[in-house]
Amino acid sequence: MEYNAYPIFIIYATIIISFILAKLIPLIASMASATPNKPKTKVLKFGSEEDVAVALAKYTADLSEKYIKEKGSFSVVLSGGTLIDTLRKLVEAQYKDSVDWSKWLIFWVDERVVPLDHEDSNYLLASRGFLSKESPEGAADDYEERIKQLVESKIIPISNTSCFPKFDHMLLGMGPDGHVASLFPTRTQRYEKKRWVTFITDSPKPPPPRITFTFPVINSASEIAMVITGAELADATKTVLGGGGDPGSVPLPAAEVSAEGELTWFLDKDAASKL
């Protein structure tokens, strides 16, 4: 009697395939769950700059409480200019005594290379609002080295995604030309991909010498707030958020901002008027 092994082969193959699938399916599922979610972007519109200031204070205070509970500190990166004034609500009674300022680590996303008491200094603006280097290149090197020391001491972590320093929160503004920090549309510093901090000697906006975080550092932040107020920013806001640029044109620097976690735009009605 001839023995037919084909049915036996089918049975064994089915068992083996079932076994392999039983091992692979949980592995695939775990890999999918470990894949980072696409960064989220929210656009919040308010009736006035005062409303933006109120909302920004609550947003920042809530993040402060969250990160201090999670890790014992809150690393905040600030830009200068009008943003400092928009943070004024943080020193009012509602937050002044409830925010644990002793756990804040404050950094500058960029700084004008001028003495600390100079009218153009972000440090001076912040000192007044709510709280010189020999050369721009030397200042950038020094700032990057200090950040590296904080990374080595585990005070500032490194992003698992980008391998750049990962700050908890960045508060950024935007210029009428769409620049962010000191990364201007017509300057090559916006394309820097290796350095943490770079320098510029011919800023189109005075003063000419500045240092600035690069986009890889900015975009490694857990949370970013883009705080945009005033009618003079309506065109740039439309270009970045409303697709108002010319076809084939180079995106404005502000369009390149993308947090690892959540990016939130705070707009008053004037800045959002052309959306």
CATH number of 237's domain = 3.40.50.1360
Domain that holds residue 209: 40-268
Looking at the fold, whether 13 and 53 belong to one and the same domain comes out as no
Looking at the fold, whether 3 and 88 belong to one and the same domain comes out as no
Is residue 99 domain-resident?
yes
- Report the pLDDT value the prediction gives residue 123, as an integer from 0 to 100: 58
Looking at the fold, whether 136 and 237 belong to one and the same domain comes out as yes
Looking at the fold, whether 154 and 249 belong to one and the same domain comes out as yes
Whether residue 220 contacts residue 260, with contact meaning beta carbons closer than 8 Å, is answered with yes
Structural domains counted in the chain: 2
Instruction: Say which residue, 91 or 37, is predicted with more confidence.
Output: 91
| Confidence class for position 36, pLDDT limits 50, 70, 90 | very low
- Its pTM stands at 0.79
Looking at the fold, whether 158 and 217 belong to one and the same domain comes out as yes
Looking at the fold, whether 9 and 102 belong to one and the same domain comes out as no
| Confidence class for position 170, pLDDT limits 50, 70, 90 | very high
Q: Going by C-beta distance under 8 Å and a sequence separation of 6 or more, which residues neighbour residue 51?
A: 268
Looking at the fold, whether 16 and 69 belong to one and the same domain comes out as no
- Report the pLDDT value the prediction gives residue 97, as an integer from 0 to 100: 84
- Report the pLDDT value the prediction gives residue 242, as an integer from 0 to 100: 86
Looking at the fold, whether 31 and 78 belong to one and the same domain comes out as no
Instruction: Say which residue, 7 or 144, is predicted with more confidence.
Output: 144
| Confidence class for position 16, pLDDT limits 50, 70, 90 | low
Is residue 275 domain-resident?
no
How many percent of the chain have pLDDT more than 70? 76
Is residue 242 domain-resident?
yes
- Report the pLDDT value the prediction gives residue 258, as an integer from 0 to 100: 95
pLDDT over 90 at 261, yes or no:
yes
Is residue 273 domain-resident?
no
Looking at the fold, whether 180 and 118 belong to one and the same domain comes out as yes
Task: Taking residues 54-80, report their average pLDDT.
Answer: 95
Task: Taking residues 166-172, report their average pLDDT.
Answer: 98
User: Please, is 228 exposed, middle or buried when counting C-beta atoms within 10 Å of its C-beta (0-12, 13-18, 19+)?
Assistant: buried
Q: CA angle, corner 105, sides to 154 and 214, nearest 5?
A: 80
